[in-house]
Amino acid sequence: MLDFIRALRSRSGLALRLPGLLLAFLIAELFYKFHSFVLECAAFLLTWLVLDWVAERISAVLRWRTTAGPAGPR
């Protein structure tokens, strides 16, 4: 959560974090019907965590590929 708030200062950080938040919110709204606020909130936060982690990994791979170039690391 603190990283998300800090990312609001950075355009690239916000662009990386905001889609995960919105997608997690959409998934939680459509699929999580536990009839318990605590369970739904925990599931939403866990979903957001997983989506954010996936976005971080994809971003790291893309950064590695652009810095390594077509020949790969040396």
Model confidence pLDDT, tens digit, residues 9-27 = 777 777 788 899 999 999 9
**pLDDT confidence of residue 15:** 79
Distance CA 34, CA 38 (A): 9
When divided into structural domains, the chain yields a total of 1
- Look up the domain containing 40 and give its range: 2-66
> Is residue 33 a part of any domain in this protein?
yes
Mean pLDDT over the full length of the chain: 86
Length of the chain counted residue by residue: 74
> Is residue 13 a part of any domain in this protein?
yes
**pLDDT confidence of residue 64:** 87
> Is residue 55 a part of any domain in this protein?
yes
**pLDDT confidence of residue 69:** 62
47 has a pLDDT exceeding 70: yes
> Is residue 27 a part of any domain in this protein?
yes
The residue written with tokens 């957001």 in the block is 48
Confidence of residue 48 (pLDDT cuts 50, 70, 90): very high
Contact 47, 24 (CB under 8 A): yes
Name the 3-class secondary structure at 8.
coil
Per-residue DSSP letter, 35: S
> Is residue 18 a part of any domain in this protein?
yes
